[in-house]
Chains A and B, each alone.
Chain A
Amino acid sequence: MPTQDDEFIKQLRETFSVEAAEHLQSMASMLLELEKAPPSAQGAETIEKVYREAHSLKGAARAVDLSGIEAICQSLESVFSEWKRGKSTPSPEVFDTLHSDLDEIHALLARAGADSTGGALERGNRSPGAEVAPRLPLPIQPAPSQLVESENAAVAATTVRIPIAKLNARLLQAEDMLLVKAMAAQRAAELKQVTALFDQWHREWAKVSIEARILLRSRKPDPDAEIGAQPIAASAKLAHFIDWNCDYFRSLENRLNSLATRAKQDCQGVGKRVDDLLEDSKNLLLMPFSTLSVIFPRLVREICRNQGKEVDLVIRGAEVEIDNRILEEMKDVLIHVLRNCVDHGVETPAERVRLGKPERANITISVSQVNGRSVEIVVSDDGAGVDLERVKDAAVAQGILSEIDARALDEPDALALIFQSGVSSSPTVTGLSGRGLGMAIVREKTGNLGGRTSIESKRHVGTSLRMVLPLTLATFRGIVVSADGRKFVVPTVHVERAMRVKPQDIRTVGNRQTVSLQARIVSLARLAAVLELPPKTNHDDAGVAVPVVVLHSAGQRIAFAVDEILQEEEVLVKPFRKPLLRVRNITGATVLGSGQVVPILNVADLLISARTHGAPPGAALPGPARERSAPTNKVLVVDDSVTSRMLLKGILESAGYQVKTAVDGVEAFTALHEDGFDLVVSDVEMPRMNGFDLTAKIRRDKRLVDLPIVLITALESRQERERGIDAGASAYIIKSSFDQSNLLEIIRRLV
C-alpha cells in the first residue's frame, strides 16, 4: 500500500522527469550547436543558456532527492562555467563525454521512473554520480537560480500540460461523432423517401379525382330526386369522408415535407458542428515537427562518429505542425531513413575527396505543408546514390521479376524496386541490404498512415526520399467489397481497377489462375481463400462474370475475386490495440456510415499471402515460392533472336515455368543432354542447326524421344507446317498468329 507521501513523491518525480527530459533535450541541442561554432564567437550566449539549463536541472534533481543526477549536473555546470570564462576550449572528446553524461542522466531518470518505490530510487541516488563527477574539472559555486525559475513561470502561465492520452481520448470521442453525423444524414434521407411516397398517392388520387368531384357535387341533396334518398345519404357520408381524407393527407404531406426539410437542415447543422469539433480536436494534437526532430542531430552525430564519416544535418521547416500520432509513427521511420543515409548513402571523407566532393556530407530534412491537408517530408543526402544495377540484379535473383523485365525497366521503376523487402534480404547485395529492408518498412508505415513515398537518386550525386503524409490522421477513401458474405475495406490508393471478369477469360496456367489485363497476365486469387475464410461449396456458378479488384503495392499486382464490389466510402482508420498487435492481412478497422464495423485490408500483406494461399485447393505453391513447392516444369527456349528469346522467357516464367535458353539447335541439343527438360520451345530459322533439324535430332535420340517440342515460326506455308510435324514437333505455332495465352495453353496441354 503506498502511503500518501509515497504517492506525492511519485507524482513529484513524474513531473520532474518531464522537466528533466526538456532540459536534457535543450542541452543536447545546444551542445551540438556549440560543437559546430566555436564558443569564442557567437557561442557565448549559447554557453550561458546551456549553463543555466544544467543549473536548473541540478536544482530540480536536488528537490526530488535524486543526488546522482544532481552530481552529474554539478560537474556539467562546472565545465560550462569554465567555457564561460574562456578558460578552456572544448575538444570533440569533451563533447563526447558531455553527451554521454546526458545519456547517464537519461538512464538514471528511466531507472527512477521505472520503480516508484523509494528503495529503487536510492540505487539511482548513489552509484553513478560518484564515478562521473571526478571525470570533469572541479565544481564551482552555483549561480543564483531565481532568474531561470522566473522564466519557467512565465511559460507556465500561458500553457497547460495535458497528457496526450487524455487528448487522444477527446479525439476518439470527437471521431465517434462522425457516426452521429452519418446517422442524422441517414434519418434525413429516410424521411425524404417517406415524403416521396406521397407522389404515388397523388397519382392514385388524380385517377379518381373526377369521379370524386362528381360524387362530392351529388352530395348536395337534389330536390327533384325522390328515389334512392337512402343510398344518396350514405354516399354523401362517404363523399364527405373522402373529402376530409384528402385534406387530411395533404396536411400530413405538408407536415412531413417540412419535417424532412428541417431534418435536412439539422443534419447539415450537426454535420458542420461535428466537422468543426473534429477539426479542432485534431488541431489539439498538432505538434511541431521539431518535437520529433530534436533527437536527430545527436543521432546523426553518433552514427557518424561510429563510422568515421562527417555529416552536416540541416533541418528545415521544423515548425510545421503535424498530428502527434503521425509524428509518433514517423519517428522510427525517420530514424531508419537517417541511419540508412549515413550508412549507405554518405561516403567516407576520403572517398568524397577522391570524387571531388566536399569532405563533409550534407543531409537535409525539409518539412513543408503541401496544401491544407498534407505535409511533405523530404530527406536528401549528397552521397553515393542508389546503384540501380545492383538493385535490379537483386530483384532478379529474388525472382521478383525476370531478367527481361529488369532490362526493360526505366530508372524510376528500377528505383521503386528497393521498396520491396525481398530485394534487401538477398545476400548478394550486402551493400544495399539494410537500405532495401528499411525502405519496405518506410513504405508500409507511410502507407498505413495514408501517405505516399517516392525516391529519387542519382549515382554519386545523392538520394532524396520524399514522403507525403496527411497533416492529421485523416479519413481516406476505401472501396467496400464483400467476400463470403463479409465486408472488407480496401484503401482506394491500392486499387488499380475494379472490374468483372468472364469465366472464360480466367485461365489456369500451371497451377494457378490468371486473367489478362491490358496485355499483361495477372494472377487471380480468391479474396475469401487468401483471408482463410471457411471454404464454401457452391462457389462456381458457371457463366456468371466474377467481380474482381486488381490491387497493387510496391510495383506488384494481383487480381482478387470477390462476391461484390459495394461502394466507395470515406473511412476513418481505427487502429487495433493490444492484444491485437499485428493481424495478418488486416491493418485495422473502420466504422461505416451504417454503423457496421468493417476490417481494413493490408494490401502489402495480401499480395504476399495470395502467393501462398490464393491457389485453388489442392494446387501447389505458385510463383516465386516455387523453389519450395512441387517440381515445376523446365522449359528450354531456343531462338537466335535475343528479343524473342527474352520475350518467351518472360512469358513462360511469369506463368510459373523454369526457363533456360539456347541460341541455336547445337547449343540446345547440348543443353538437353546436360540438364533434364520437360519441353522445348524452338524457333525454326536459326544458324548452325535449325528447328526442323533439332526436332529430328531429338526424335532420334533414345533419351529424348518423348520430349514435347513446340516450334514457333514465321514460315506460314502448309508445306512448312507439314515439314515440322513430319520432323516430330508436338505443336507448330505461327508467329503472326502469336498469342501468349495460346502458347501457354498449348504448353499446359503438352506437359
Chain B
Amino acid sequence: MRNAQISNARSAGPDALRTREILTARARALARPYRRPPAADQAIEVVDFRLAQESFGIEQTFVREVQPLRELTPLPCTPPFIRGIINVRGEILPVLDMKIFFELPGAGIADLHMVIIVHAGDVELGILADVVTGTRSVPLNTLQPCPPTLAGARMKYLKGVTNEGMVILDVARILSDADITVNEEVPS
C-alpha cells in the first residue's frame, strides 16, 4: 500500500517509460497477497489462563463467565476428566479438567482455583484453571499449528499456538465431541 502511494505521488511525471515503471511497481504492490495488516476483525479475543505452568486461551465468544472455584462436588461413576459438578445460578454444570486430556502433570485439585464457564450450542460446562490472567487479543495470523508432541491424541481439541506459546483451545470442537458425553447404562 505504502509503495502504491509513493508511486502515486510520482506518477505526475510525463515520461511514458517512467509511467510504465510506475504502473508496474503499482501492479506489483497490488498483486502482493493481502495478508499483512492485522485488522481488528482478524484477531480473536481470548481469555488467557494457566494450567500446570502452560498458557492456554479460550475464545471469549464461548466464555459465559469466570469464577473462583468455591465448591466442587465429585461425581462418581463418571470418566476422570469430569472432576465434578458445580452450581451456577441454580444450574448444575459439569466441570472438566483439561489436564487429563493433555496429560499434563499435577492431577491434584490443589492448584485449581478458577473455573471458566463456557458454552457452545446446547452444551454448557466449566473448565478448570489454575489462574486466569485476563483477556487479550490474538491476531489470527500469529496462530500456528501445534507441535504434535504437545497434545497427542487430543490434537483435535486445539485451534493453534501463538508466538508466545499460548495454546488456543477449540471450544466448539471440545463441547461437541462425543468423547466428552457421558451416557452410560448400568450393565446388568
Q: Which residues of A contact B (CB under 8 A)?
A: 172-173, 175-176, 179, 421-422, 486, 531-533, 574-586, 588-589, 591, 595-599, 605, 608-609, 612
Contact = CB atoms under 8 A, between A and B. Distances in A.
Contact of A580 (B73, B122, B182, B186): B182
Contact of A583 (B73, B74, B78, B89): B78
26 contacts: A172-B91, A179-B90, A422-B188, A531-B76, A532-B76, A574-B90, A576-B92, A577-B91, A577-B93, A577-B123, A578-B123, A579-B125, A579-B180, A579-B182, A581-B181, A582-B184, A585-B77, A586-B76, A589-B92, A597-B71, A597-B73, A597-B87, A598-B73, A605-B186, A608-B187, A612-B187
B181 A608 contact: no
Contacts of A595: 71, 87
A591 to B, nearest CB: 6
Given A172-B89, A598-B73, 15 more contacts: A172-B91, A421-B188, A531-B77, A576-B85, A579-B125, A579-B175, A579-B180, A583-B77, A583-B184, A589-B73, A591-B87, A597-B87, A599-B75, A608-B186, A608-B188
A595 B88 CA distance: 11
A253 B77 CA distance: 52
B170 interface: no
B119 to A, nearest CB: 11
Contacts of B75: 580, 583, 586, 599
A422 B188 CA distance: 9
A725 B180 CA distance: 65
Interface string B90-108: 1111100000000000000
Q: Tell me which of B92, B122, B180, B184 has the highest count of chain A C-beta atoms within 10 A of its own C-beta.
A: B92
B183 A581 contact: yes
Interface string B170-181: 000001000011
A283 B181 CA distance: 33
Given A531-B77, A597-B71, A597-B92, A582 B185 contact: yes
B22 interface: no
B83 to A, nearest CB: 13
Interface residues of B, number: 31
Nearest to B123: A578
Interface of B: 71, 73-78, 82, 85-87, 89-94, 122-125, 175, 180-188
A574 B76 CA distance: 17
Nearest to A594: B71
Contacts of A599: 73, 75-76, 85
Nearest to A606: B186
Contacts of B87: 574, 591, 595, 597
B52 to A, nearest CB: 22
Contacts, number: 97
Closest 6 CB pairs of A and B: A176-B90, A581-B183, A531-B76, A584-B77, A597-B73, A172-B90
B73 A596 contact: yes
A531 B74 CA distance: 12
Contacts of B85: 576, 589, 597, 599
Nearest to A173: B90
B26 to A, nearest CB: 31
Contacts of A179: 90
Contacts of A486: 73-74, 76
What does DSSP make chain A's interface, helix, strand, loop or mixed? mixed
Contacts of B93: 577
A173 B89 contact: yes
Contact of A176 (B89, B94, B188): B89
Contacts of B185: 582, 584
Contacts of B187: 608, 612
A274 to B, nearest CB: 13
Most chain B beta-carbon contacts within 10 A, residue among A585, A597, A609: A597
B65 to A, nearest CB: 15
A177 to B, nearest CB: 9
B76 to A, nearest CB: 4
A524 B73 CA distance: 26
Nearest to B121: A578
Contacts of B89: 172-173, 176
A608 B186 CA distance: 7
Contacts of A576: 85, 92, 94
A583 B82 CA distance: 11
Q: Which of A574, A575, A583, A596 lies at the interface centre, i.e. has the most chain B CB atoms within 10 A of its CB?
A: A583
Contacts of A612: 187
A172 B90 CA distance: 6
Contacts of A176: 89-90
Given A172-B89, A597-B92, A605-B186, A577 B77 contact: no
A584 B186 contact: yes
A589 B75 CA distance: 10
A669 to B, nearest CB: 39
A581 B91 CA distance: 15
B92 A588 contact: yes
Contacts of A589: 73, 85, 92
Contact of B186 (A577, A585, A588, A597): A585
B124 A577 contact: yes
B90 A582 contact: no
Nearest to B181: A579
Nearest to B178: A579
Nearest to A425: B188
Contacts of B182: 579-583
B158 to A, nearest CB: 19
B186 to A, nearest CB: 5
A583 B93 CA distance: 13
A56 B101 CA distance: 55
Contacts of A574: 87, 90-92
Nearest to B175: A579
Contacts of A605: 186
A29 B90 CA distance: 39
Contacts of B124: 577
A546 B187 CA distance: 28
A401 to B, nearest CB: 16
Most A Cβ at <10 Å: residue of B77, B85, B93? B77
Contacts of B74: 486
A576 B123 CA distance: 11
A584 B181 contact: no
Contacts of B92: 574-577, 588-589, 597
A533 B75 CA distance: 10
B186 A578 contact: no
Nearest to A599: B75
Contact of B76 (A422, A533, A582): A533
A253 to B, nearest CB: 35
A211 B64 CA distance: 67
B175 to A, nearest CB: 8
